[in-house]
Chain A
Amino acid sequence: MADTAIGVEGAHKKYGERAALDGLDLRVARGTVHGVLGPNGAGKTTLVRILSTLLRPDGGRIEVAGRDVVTDAREVRRRIGLLGQHAALDEELSGRQNLEMFGRLHHLGARHARVRAGELLERFGLTDTGRTAVRAYSGGMRRRLDLAASLITEPEVLFLDEPTTGLDPRGRAEVWASVRSLVGGGTTVLLTTQYLEEADQLADRISVVDHGRVVADGTADELKTLTGGDRIDVVLRDAGQLGAAVALLPLPAADISVDADRRLLSAPVVDRMAALAGVVRALEASGIEAADVALRRPTLDEVFLHLTACDDRTDRTKEAV
């Protein structure tokens, strides 16, 4: 299909006896950002390495930019950019030397490669350190240079494998801003992450991956409704009145959760507006003072825990989530 940038059907990959990908399916529409969300060991890196022709799949049909990654690897390589989980830079060379080298290997020609290197250094705020050996770079600078290197040719499809893992909040914000600016240019982005917030912030659609297969996918909003829809949060001025409020508010008492430290009372709702109006009226009538009343969607954390709890198996490595 012409509007499909990445098509994966039944991808399998084993390391010895261990299945890293176990029949994974994925379709990413051209020009969109797709988040692949999963805990450590879910198979994210294996997927990205197969999509970027670094690893040969054991089975399945896998196409990137309309080309088969096994039989047409070179044509795939002309159209992709890769930001791997670990820096893929020549540590002994300077940032500028790295970018010029990659430009030449993309056959831009010597002059064009030089100009492009200068542009990218400028864009990623690395002009001042362009002559320093990468070995002396900080983690954030390295990540930015790595991202610049994956953008040498303005790729059709860009793979970002945990682009912000290990970065401080500022570094993370910089990478997010760069990814957002790419999307305007029509690049298709596949981004893996363990950070639910990151997928929520950047991705149009999300596939939740666990044990080498997709356990759920959809937009962030769609995924959130999977766990049972919206909630209402009521924060009281006086924690002593929480008990009274639970008894009195027009909410199903069995579903109300109470957090005394935050003076918070929270419950799922079906009809958003009716529930909100009912709660406000009941509070006014009873004279219980509220600091805040708000409707909210569940967080992606709640979704993720819900999904992976449904699909639990024994050999999980969950500690990093």
Chain B
Amino acid sequence: MKLSHLIRREILHRKLGFALATVSAAVAVAGLVAARAMLQKHDARTEQIITAREAQTRAQMARMEDDYRKMMLKMGFNVLILPKDQNLGDLYAEDYASKYMPEEYATRLARSRVVTINHILPSLQQKIQWPEYARTVLLMGVRGEVYVQNARQQPLLAPVAAGTMVLGHELAKNLKLEAGQQTKLMGREFTVARINPERGNKDDITVWINLAEAQSLLDKPGLINGILALDCTCDTLDRLARIRPEIARILPDTQIVEYASQALARAEARQRAATEAQASLQREKEGRTRLRQEREALAAVLVPVITAGSGVWLGLLALANVRERRDEIGILRALGLRSRQILLIFLGKAVVIGLAGAGLGYALGRGLGMWWRETPDAAAPTLGFWDVHLLALVLVAAPLLAALASWLPALIAAQQDPADVLREA
């Protein structure tokens, strides 16, 4: 016979005491396991929230960048190169330049590899009376982009093919013109290629046609009256100071004005929004960290309190067990068992209680942790039942706790004088 057999029989004989002790150990283990599961879930939830927020912010930023790119195309985050003798007052009053320069300027500018300009868009524009409809429109001849870097560069402006036109929103609506329809401009046949969306500016009454056709219609062969130079590097706000001398060097009889600075304001606003999005993401992260700290602090108080309570309770139960077994201890000593063996009988039982409590407590605590959720929404993170490390930890810690709690009672049992009980008649 072995001591383990004795321990097993005794446990089976006093099931209630064993159950009480096991539940007590299980409560401590469950507290620890549940706290840990809660923190794991918290972390998973945080991860979820932050990932979603990051994706949202990323999407927002991408949308913003795209908007920005289009904005630069529409209104130009850019400079406008004009003939030197163009009166700016006239330009603003009339919406177009009245002086001209050779179209070749655009090519020259492009060839000179001006590093600060990435896109060069020559145009010929003039406010005209659309004779066929008796309507004032802004006629804009464009030839697409004169590439600065190389032909594979992403074009900012699709060229308008000869024989087609692109119409501003208000104009098309007013004239009841739709894409695909045929119409005449100054006697020439055009197909409406596209209607631009409403932009709320003079673009809405603009007719875009091929540059060569515009030159011919307006009788300005080989001439343009503006070059939109778009800088997409966007690195400094004071880029005018950088671009101006460069262009003056290449095209001496031109002047440069910054164009549509409201785009800049909007870009700045968007930038602020981006910064704000980042900051709110940061705040969210900090909030989650704070919440975790609070939960950790709560666990750091509750778990030791529960563990200590459980330890005391285990100790009292062990003491009651020792008292109940006085007679048995006496006779076992008389039979020759050494006091160390008596100690082992009680500590062995404590270890069994600890192991059973660890198993039960793990299942309870993990179950609780799996059931708990921060928010009732279905996307809340889930938790698997097995956390091997934690299970291993409690399978070691709970028997240790139980053995520690039973140490004093076991020592009392081991020190008990057998003569005391054996003398009793």
**Bound pair (A, B):** no
Interface residues of B, Cβ cutoff 8 Å to A? none
Interface residues of A, Cβ cutoff 8 Å to B? none
